[in-house]
Amino acid sequence: MKKIGIIGAMQVEIDLLINKVQNLTKFTYAGFPFYHGELFSNEIIITNSGVGKVNAAACTQLLIDQFSVYSIINTGIAGSLDEAVKIYDVVISSDVTHHDVRVEQKKNLFPFQETFQADKQLIELALQTCAYLKLNSTYHLGRIVSGESFIEDIEEKTRIVKNYAPACVEMEGSAIAQVAHINKVPFVIIRSISDNADENTTLDYKKYEEMAANQSAQIVLGMLSEMKWP
């Protein structure tokens, strides 16, 4: 039985998952909660990283060091950066990058990566799960970008879209991806859209946050039910 790590930035993003876990035990390391148990014959460790890339990176490294997870799934919500990606749609990461770090810095400094590629097996499993669940929304495979700020300014949104052509934006995925990459741990990011990263973001976010978070968690549950490792 291989260990699967699941990371959400907020409790609302992981509550549905925690409530399904059998033989649940809670651990705390450096202030981060880790929920350990079994789900669909998989050994699961679910954690709440808190918001932002620094928190996400620290939490991801602890998850790897303390539990030796085989793979990582990041679940949660995000803001759309593509007109084709609507509120309540789902984005599965093809690759992930920081939108608030210069390209030259990413290329020339450790770990020398402009983007971090999600695991092909996990991507395929996520796509198959979305198709099987027959979601009341559209699912997309695309780039996800992350930064240390909540995007609700149209000028900032335009800059990010011009430079990176992403499907959506959030605040943790690229940090999780970078830590997974340097530790050689397969990962995928699953995000359900809660807003359009514009001047209406705050209102949309409050309205759709829980619904979008639960949809992402439902996809993770579907993936776990089908996971068969060699």
Q: Are 150 and 101 in contact (CB under 8 A)?
A: no
Gap between the Cα atoms of 72 and 183, Å rounded: 11
pLDDT of residue 201: 54
pLDDT of residue 202: 56
Closest CA to 176 of 120, 105, 95, 91: 95
Catalytic-residue membership of 114: no
pLDDT of residue 135: 85
**Tokens 């649940």, residue located:** 24
Gap between the Cα atoms of 98 and 169, Å rounded: 10
53, two tokens: 């890339």
Sign of the dihedral defined by the CA atoms of residues 92, 93, 98, 102, in that order: negative
pLDDT of residue 229: 47
Catalytic-residue membership of 119: no
Question: For each of the chain's 230 residues, which pLDDT tens digit applies?
Answer: 689 999 999 999 999 999 999 999 999 999 999 999 999 989 999 999 999 999 999 999 999 999 999 999 999 999 999 999 999 999 999 999 999 999 999 999 999 999 999 999 999 999 999 999 988 889 999 999 999 988 877 888 999 999 999 999 999 999 999 999 999 999 999 999 988 876 665 555 566 788 899 999 999 999 999 876 44
pLDDT of residue 204: 57
Gap between the Cα atoms of 217 and 115, Å rounded: 25
Question: Rounded to a whole number, what is the largest CA-CA distance in the chain?
Answer: 48
pLDDT of residue 208: 79
82, two tokens: 């593509």
Q: Which of 13, 119, 172, 204 is catalytic?
A: 13
CATH superfamily of 3-226: Nucleoside phosphorylase domain (3.40.50.1580)
pLDDT of residue 37: 97
Q: Which of 119, 195, 204, 209 is catalytic?
A: 195
Gap between the Cα atoms of 59 and 4, Å rounded: 15
Gap between the Cα atoms of 160 and 184, Å rounded: 28
DSSP string, the chain: --EEEEEESSGGGTHHHHTT-EEEEEEEETTEEEEEEEETTEEEEEEE--SSHHHHHHHHHHHHHHH--SEEEEEEEEEE-STTS-TT-EEEEEEEEESSS-HHHHHHSTT--SSEEPPHHHHHHHHHHHHHHT-SS-EEEEEEEE-SS----HHHHHHHHHHH--SEEESSHHHHHHHHHHTT--EEEEEEEEE-SSTTHHHHHHHHHHHHHHHHHHHHHHHHHH----
